[in-house]
Structure 1
Amino acid sequence: MSVSVRVSHLVDPREMPYLQACIRESLRVNTPLTYVVPRVAMKDAGLVGANGRKVLIPEGSSIIINITCIHYKEEYWPNAHEFNPERFMGMSKGQETECDTTQWLPFGLGSRMCPARNFAMYEQRVLAAMLLNKWEWTISSDSPHVGGIKNGFSPVRAFTAQESLPQLHAPRPEIIKSDVTPIEAI
């Protein structure tokens, strides 16, 4: 069995800046990690908190960075609860911008950053381009995403289990309803 896929135009992310921006925004809105791997303070350290107060971190304390809070901080991401890929686009010629690694952390940071992050970004780009090349996508009129993409992890879309039944896993609701038609069928 032979599979033929046209990927020659998919190799260079500079040829698909908007797709790359959509992937980056998706990772910001629905980050795969909630927290960075905890670190331990090797000696007493001082930080300035968000409110301007100085905070002492004693030696031996665990330090945990909440990535979700950073990804939704209005100071870094205006209208943070909106899906807006344009925030990752440059100001000229539709080129993508570099990501500030102190504000966009879907793969963690530092020495424990995901070693496969570049492969993951490439894989997402190739898969999305292949799906977009093969299928025509439309949003159903009864989809909750009509009028804009809704964050799957927002309180309105939270997954809940029935309280009366002990369950290990909550039933997964259909998050995205779409009508998919092969391009060849159009």
Structure 2
Amino acid sequence: MEGQFRTWKKEKKTNIVYDDVSEKKKQGDDDLVDVLLRFQDDGIQIPLTTENIKAVILDMLGGGGETSATTVDWAMAEMLRNPRILEKAQDEVRRFFDDKGGYVDESRIHELKYLMSIIKETLRLHLPLPLLLPRKCREKCEIDGYEIPVDTKIIVNAWAINRDPKYWRNPDCFEPERFLDEDLEVDYKGNHFEYIPFGAGRRICPGMAFGLANVELPLAMFLYHFDWKLPPGMKHEEMDMSESFGITARRNETEIPKVGFRLHALIPLIPRVSREDTEIEGYIIPIGAKVLVNAWAMGRDPDIWADPRFENDPKDFTGNEFEYISFVVEEECA
């Protein structure tokens, strides 16, 4: 992804952007890029260059991509682990969007109260950034008997705050209904310090609305269009809900859906260049010849795949089994 971002930054597509902005001005439809370009045109004390605008957009896409995907993954995992919650959420989404002919959009998505409570509970229990970005103490203070000198760097443990039993009933349980309680007047905008998935104060996450939109709409679409079930023979309580170590608290990938990657290879046709003269089934492949490997067909070969569910098959997708190369082989996929 970093390589794609670097390439994007190097490409000069300013004229395309301005053409698009000019067309939107005629329609009266502004987005974030329009607003930033308007600041650039109007002039402010701190000049806003085209490079600054591109950097802001890149930060939003980079910062709001993985965190949103992590939240969607946790929300789906918790619903699969709690069939009652999943069924209730699906009923609400389908009942609401059936009146719109099955078209799921974000125009009235905030009216889905139960889905919103699921997202809030997911952010409480599995916030993407357990440790908020570092802060610096601007003045000397004392907290619980500890003296904090000025300019001390502070890391806020939002994960522990969101699970504090002094403020949360059954803090380690996934209970979306708690956010439907009228007595619990808590939101994620930084006004309640017992619930700060996006931080608080002047340094609250600037991409909060963008990140929430990237969670709300995909979840609504997943719930409306698909029926979700665990693999055959797997029990709900057997799901691995442990967290992986990193900047973001992702779910451990111990249950990677092998069947999905076999049936729907991420790259169906894998391009290669022959490094030496060779012969395959009577066909001579000269050195330097460009070859397309049909991973889609190999993943569906009935002579190889006797057990479609991998229940009794040790095959993996690390490139050691050439009949199953959803992620390519050798050092090609880093």
- Name the TM tier (shorter chain): 0.5 to 0.7
Is 1:72 the counterpart of 2:169? The answer is no
**Cα distance in 2 between the residues matched to 1:18 and 1:148:** 25
Is 1:174 the counterpart of 2:255? The answer is yes
TM-score (norm 1): 0.66
Structure 1 runs, 4 residues or longer, greater than 6 Å off: none
**Per-residue deviation at 1:19?**
0.4
Match of 2:225 among 121, 134, 142: 134
Structure 1 pair 112–131 and aligned structure 2 pair: CA distance change class (3 A): same
**Cα distance in 2 between the residues matched to 1:36 and 1:62:** 12
Structure 1 pair 143–109 and aligned structure 2 pair: CA distance change class (3 A): farther
Q: Is the 8 A contact 1:38 1:64 kept in 2?
A: yes
Structure 1 pair 172–148 and aligned structure 2 pair: CA distance change class (3 A): closer
**Cα distance in 2 between the residues matched to 1:77 and 1:175:** 32
**Cα distance in 1 between the residues matched to 2:165 and 2:257:** 26
**Per-residue deviation at 1:98?**
4.0
Is 1:85 the counterpart of 2:182? The answer is no
Q: Secondary structure at the match of 2:166?
A: coil
Listed one character per residue, the Cα deviations across residues 134-174 of structure 1 (whole Å, up to 9, x for unaligned) are 11112346445x15976432xxxx67xxxxxxxxxxx9311
**Cα distance in 2 between the residues matched to 1:111 and 1:39:** 11
Q: Secondary structure at the match of 1:136?
A: coil
Amino acid of the structure 2 residue aligned with 1:33: L
Amino acid of the structure 2 residue aligned with 1:11: S
Please name the residue that 1:20 is paired with.
116
Amino acid of the structure 2 residue aligned with 1:174: E
Amino acid of the structure 1 residue aligned with 2:181: G
**Cα distance in 1 between the residues matched to 2:164 and 2:238:** 20
**Cα distance in 2 between the residues matched to 1:122 and 1:107:** 14
**Structure 1 residues 45-64: aligned runs within 5 Å:** 45-47=141-143, 49=144, 54-64=145-155
Q: Which has the larger radius of gyration?
A: 2
Query: Comparing 26-35 with 135-144, which one deviates more in the overlay?
Result: 135-144
Please name the residue that 2:242 is paired with.
152
Please name the residue that 1:6 is paired with.
103
**Cα distance in 2 between the residues matched to 1:77 and 1:149:** 24
Q: Secondary structure at the match of 2:194?
A: coil
Please name the residue that 2:99 is paired with.
none
**Count of matched residue positions in the alignment of Structure 1 and Structure 2:** 150
**Per-residue deviation at 1:104?**
1.7
Taking only the aligned residue pairs, the percentage that are identical comes to 28
Is 1:121 the counterpart of 2:217? The answer is no
- The structure richer in strand per residue is 1
Please name the residue that 1:164 is paired with.
none
Structure 1 pair 150–172 and aligned structure 2 pair: CA distance change class (3 A): closer
Q: Secondary structure at the match of 2:146?
A: strand
* Structure 1: segments with no counterpart, 5+ residues: 160-170, 180-186
**Per-residue deviation at 1:37?**
1.9
Amino acid of the structure 2 residue aligned with 1:43: E
Please name the residue that 1:101 is paired with.
192
Q: Which has the higher contact order (CA 8 A, sep 6+)?
A: 1
**Per-residue deviation at 1:123?**
2.4
Listed one character per residue, the Cα deviations across residues 46-71 of structure 1 (whole Å, up to 9, x for unaligned) are 22x2xxxx221112222221011101
CA RMSD across the alignment: 3.2
Listed one character per residue, the Cα deviations across residues 104-137 of structure 1 (whole Å, up to 9, x for unaligned) are 2222222222211112212211111111111111
Amino acid of the structure 2 residue aligned with 1:80: P
